[in-house]
Amino acid sequence: MLSANAEQRANIKFLTKLGKSATETYNLLTEVYGDQCLSRTQVFEWFKKFMEGRKNVGNDPKSGRPPTAKTPENVEKVARIVRRDRRLSIRAISELTNINKESVRQILHDDLGMKKVCAKVVPKILTPQQKEHRVNCYMWKNASWVLHHDNAPAHNALSVKRYLAKNNIPVMEHPPYSPDLAPCDFFLFPKIKSALKGTRFESVDAVKAKATQLLKSITQDDLQHCFQQWKIRMERCRDRGGDYIEGDNISNV
């Protein structure tokens, strides 16, 4: 009997033979398996393997030198995956690379100099220039207002920048590698994920409907609390010379 993951990989193989795209394959699997579905990155990795002619749906056999070793090849393999998706968990990276979780953790921490901040993999130690950038972004005039959003592609789109400039909307620059200062990362995404966790959905549309419902249920008090947390985080970042503030008990301040 196939394991749950092997069953999904078999379905990926079947869908490639039907001529489905990687995105269509992921959407169909999500409809069937809900929150138990393989991650988007995992689906795309296996889709690529089957398109290249792979037949076996099982994990690669562990032969020769153990794949748990921190070899240069494994370090590069982990680095490539993290560059594609900084939100992957250590468990997901382990499954994609066939390297045990402890070795993945060591590679991220020791070899790549990275750590998790607000569910994103970021550099473990910021450079002096990056710290200075984080501090400088805090400055604005009293009794004035600014728009602060992160560096997501949608926010950096030319059409968005033109709209903001046309309407004279002041924008606070968001420093790179700073999910601990981004309201979406420390407030919105965790709030939505917490409400969705453990729920099995019958279709992608059901997920979208529930997420939309949760977004609409956010109250003025929720947003005010988010603003207060943002202000505290920015002040602590400034007071610490740009160091990460993730891990502080901010919610009780």
The CATH number of the domain holding residue 41 is 1.10.10
Instruction: Please list, in sequence order, all residues whose beta carbon lies within 8 angstroms of the beta carbon of residue 34, skipping any fewer than 6 positions away.
Output: 199, 200, 201, 202
Low-confidence ranges of the chain (pLDDT < 70): 1-3, 59-69, 87, 116-125, 140-143, 246-253
Closest residue by Cα to residue 171 from 148, 152, 153: 148
Answer yes or no: is 166 within a domain. yes
Please give the pLDDT value at position 142: 63
* Domain membership of residue 90 as a residue range: 72-111
Give the Å distances, CA to CA, from 191 to 33, 48, 93, 186.
22, 33, 24, 9
Q: Which amino acid is at 167?
A: N
Q: What is the mean pLDDT of the chain?
A: 81
Q: Are residues 230 and 199 part of one domain?
A: yes
In a domain, 88, yes or no: yes
Give the count of domains, the chain.
3
pLDDT score at 251 = 47
Residue 62, domain member (yes or no): no
pLDDT tens across 134-170, in order? 888 777 666 678 888 887 778 888 899 899 999 999 8
- DSSP E strands in 52-155: the ranges are 114-117, 120-123, 147-148
CATH number at residue 212: 3.30.420.10
Long-range contact pairs involving 172-177 (C-beta distance under 8 Å, separation at least 24)? 172/137, 172/140, 172/146, 172/147, 172/148, 173/137, 174/137, 174/148, 174/149, 174/150, 175/130, 175/133, 175/134, 175/137, 176/130, 176/133, 176/151, 177/122, 177/123, 177/126, 177/130
Give me the pLDDT at residue 66, please: 47
Amino acid at 14: F
- Shared domain for 107 and 169, answered yes or no, is no
Classify strands 147-148 and 171-172 as parallel, antiparallel or unpaired: parallel
Domain presence at residue 106: yes
Task: Please indicate, yes or no, if residue 61 is contained in any of the structural domains.
Answer: no
SS3 1: coil
Does the pTM exceed 0.85?
no
Give residue 252's pLDDT: 37
Query: In terms of domains, do 142 and 41 share one?
Result: no
